[in-house]
Amino acid sequence: MASIQLYQFAVVEIDGRPVRAGSLSTARSITITNDEVVDQTFKVGPESAVKIWDKTENEAMGAFSFLWLETDLEVLVQFTTDAGTTDAYDVKKLRGSGTSGTMGPALVLAYDDTQLLDGSIDTFDGTADTIDEIWVYNADTEDTARVRLLAAN
């Protein structure tokens, strides 16, 4: 079995005082049970959407136990469950570096599960489901965004 070694570190300076989180020397290890990996970079044109993940089309892998998304320009990311039936979705804004070709901070997920909260708020009693599709939307009117997807299982 393969494993991913993930290093995360951030520093925020507030009023001259640095606030640190994470570590550059200690990794978080994530085991990949099937030794499968997909590494793709997509170009997303101005004011357009591109599907970058489809559980059915990527059926050789199907699920993922690790996901890394990064982009050079700010984009919206839509995670869809029950694609083609209820099409439940969640949208997140992914910040890029602001410089074409230079990737910004990554969005990292450790599972392909998402929680549909069909119960009361703050109770987390909904039905867990998996991410079927991932879409990316580039709202910029002029520049093409580059989005990298690294998925492993």
Q: Is the dihedral of CA 58, 63, 68, 72 positive or negative?
A: positive
Share of the chain residues as helix, strand and coil, in percent rounded to the nearest 5: 0, 60, 40
Strand partners, 79: 90, 134
Sequence-separated (6 or more) residues with CB below 8 Å from residue 69: 77, 94, 106, 107, 108, 134, 147, 148, 149, 150
Residue extents of the structural domains in the chain:
34-152
Q: Per residue of the chain (153 residues), what is the pLDDT tens digit? A: 788 999 989 999 999 999 999 999 999 888 888 888 889 999 999 999 999 998 888 776 777 888 999 999 999 999 888 767 776 777 889 999 989 889 998 888 877 777 665 555 566 665 667 888 899 999 999 999 999 999 998
Cα separation, 73 vs 69, whole angstroms = 12
Q: What is the pTM of this model?
A: 0.83
| CATH 2.60.40 applies to domain 34-152 | no
CB atoms within 10 A of CB 102: 11
Q: Are 150 and 41 in contact (CB under 8 A)?
A: no
